[in-house]
Amino acid sequence: MRQQGKPLGGYKIVKLKPFKNESPLDFSKPQVATKMQKAIEAVRGKLGKEYPILIGDQKFFADEKLRSYNPAHKAQVVGIFQRATQEHVKRAVETAYQAFERWSVQPAEKRVQRLLRVASLMRKNRLKLAAWMVFEVGKSWAEADADVCEAIDFAQFYAQESLRLNAPQPLVKIPSERNELCYIPLGVGVVIPPWNFPLAIMAGMTFASIVAGNTVVLKPSSDAPAVAAQLMEIFRQVELPPGVVNFVTGAGSALGDVLVTHPRTRYIAFTGSKEVGLRINQLAATIQPNQRWIKRVIAEMGGKDAIVVDTDADLDRAVDGVVASSFGYQGQKCSACSRAIIVEKIYDKFLSRLVERTRKLRMGAPEERGIDFGPVINDQAMRKIVAYIGKGQSEGRLLLGGKIHQEQGYFVEPTIIADVAPTATIAQEEIFGPVLAVIKAQDYDEALRIANNTEYGLTGAVYTKSKRKIKQAKQKFHAGNLYFNRKCTGALVGVHPFGGFDMSGTDSKAGGRDYLLLFTQAKVMSEKIK
C-alpha cells in the first residue's frame, strides 16, 4: 500500500497498487508441505475451545451449546459455541444500529486502511486459517488454501473498489449548478454465509459491508463457526470499533427469521440453499412495524451446473475439467459440475476416460498430505446424497462409486451415473455432493438445450475447438459464469465476477465492480451557483 495526497478528514488519501490475485501455494514442494503440517498441528492443539457470542465489546455465554465437529473424524470437537437466543439477536442488531451512526461517517480512507490491515493479517496467518478449514469442513490442503486466497482477494479488491466509488463521480456539468453524486452506506446488514466456503464467502460479504460503511450482524453456519471465530479475532487485532461486526451463533432455523424481520435490519447478504434464500426474500419483502425502508436481499442460492463436451474437444482436457469440477471438495460447491452433457459420437470414449481418471482420486482424512477427496460435511448431507444415489441408480447406470464409509467420518465415494435422461431427478435437483449425472446428447445444439433445462443458471462450461460453437454458446447457454475449455469452478476475484441467474440468486457478481453498489445507495446533491 502507498499513501499520497492531501489529508481528507484527517486521513491521507490512499492509493493502491493495481489489484493482483493471491497466488496458490504448491504443496508438492517439501518445504511448503512441512509448513502446512506444522500449521495443522498448531491448530490441532486448539481444538475443543469454547467461544462466546460477541456483541459490541461484550462477550455472552448461553445455557445451550452448539458443537462443531470434524467431518473426517465425527467424534472430534472443533469448537464449542453458544446457542444464541432471540434476545441476543435483538441486542446484536440494536448494537450494530448504534455503531452505524459512528462507522458510517468515518472517511472511506479509514475504513479502507482497516480492511487492508485485515488482509495483511490473513496473509500472515494463511496456513493456520487453511488448517482450521481442513479440520472443520473437510477441505483438502489446496482447497483450503484457495479459500484463504479468495478471502484476501476480497479484502484487497473491495478496498480498491471503495476508493473508486468514493472518488468524485462523473456527472454532466451545467454552468448554473454545482452537482455531486456520492455512494452512502445502507445501515445494519445481516450476513448469513455458508459452510462450504467458510472464510471466503463469509469474509467477502462482511468486507463489502463494512468497507462501504455499514455495520453487520454475522450469523455463521453452524457447521463452520470456528473459522468465523478466527476472522473475529483478526477484527479484534486490527481494532475494528466495537459493534461494527457482531458475532452470534446458533441454528439458522431459530435465529434467521428474527434477524431478517427485525425493523432495524436494512439488508440481508445470504449464500445457501434455494429454499432458504427464497424464504429470506419473502420475509424481507414484508414490511414490519416501525420499518422505514424496503429491505435489500443479496442472495446466491445454488446451481445445477453443466459441462458440455463436443465432438472436437480435447478429451483429456475435458475429462480433467469435469473431474475437477465435479469432485473438487466432494462436489460441495454451488458451482460444481453435476451434469456432464456429452455429444453422442464421443460418449463412450469420454465415459471410459472419465472413470479411469476419477479412480485416481485419493480419498481420506484431509489433514493427511496428498489427499484429493475428503468427507462430506455431516450426517444429514451424507444421508441426502445416498438417497440421491439410490434414485440415480433407478434413473441411470452406475459406473463408479455409490458407497459410503462412515466408520470414522462422512465419506461418500465419487459417484458417476451414466445414461441419465435430461429430465431425471438427479439431472434437475441440486445434490451438493460427489454425484455426477452423465447425459448423452445427439448433437451440439441438443447439448445446449439440455444445459439450459433446469431452474438454475449459475455456472457452465463448454469444451470445443470451434469458434463458431463458442459464439453460439455465448448467445444461448444461460449461466451467470460461463467458461470455455476449462473447468466451471474456481472463479477468481476481479477476474470472474461471480453470481447466477434464475433460481441461482440475484446475480450479485461477488468480486466484481458492481458488487459494492449493492451495499450502498446513491445520493445526489445540487447547489445553485448562478
Segment (H or E) for 177: strand 177-185
Those residues whose C-beta lies under 8 Å from the C-beta of residue 449, and which sit 6 or more positions away, are none
Locate the DSSP E strands across 272-317.
Answer: 296-300, 305-309
Q: What is the C-alpha to C-alpha distance for residues 494 and 512, in angstroms, rounded to an integer?
A: 5
149 assigned to active site: no
Contact 207, 116 (CB under 8 A): no
Q: Identify the burial level of 285 via C-beta atoms within 10 angstroms of its C-beta, where 0-12 means exposed, 13-18 middle and 19 or more buried.
A: exposed
**Closest alpha carbon to 368 in 143, 40, 52:** 40
Provide φ and ψ at 527, rounded to 5°. -125, 125
* 334 part of the active site: yes
Distance, in Å, from the CA atom of 319 to the CA atom of 306, rounded to the nearest integer, reads 13
Exposure of 189 in the CB half-sphere (CA atoms within 13 A): 31
Residue recorded with cell 471503495: 162
| Catalytic residue, candidates 334, 337, 367, 413 | 334
Length of the chain: 530
- List, edge to edge, every strand of the sheet that includes 73-82: 49-50, 73-82, 65-70
3-state secondary structure 25-82: CCCCCHHHHHHHHHHHHHHHCCCCEECCEEECCEEECCCCEEEEEECCEEEEEEEEEE
Can you read off the three cell numbers belonging to residue 434?
Answer: 460427489
> Which residues are paired to 363 by β-bridges?
373
- Name the catalytic one among 136, 300, 395, 413: 300
| Gyration radius of the chain over CA positions | 24
For residue 457, the SS3 value is: strand
Which H or E run includes 216?
A: strand 215-218
b/e sequence 345-378, b meaning 16+ C-beta within 10 Å: ebbeebbebbbebbeebebbbbbeeebbbbbbbb
C-alpha 510/C-alpha 508 separation (Å) is 6
Cβ of 36: how many Cβ atoms within 10 Å?
A: 22
Cα angle, residue 85 at apex, residues 82 and 89 outer, rounded to 5°: 100
Catalytic machinery residues: 300, 334
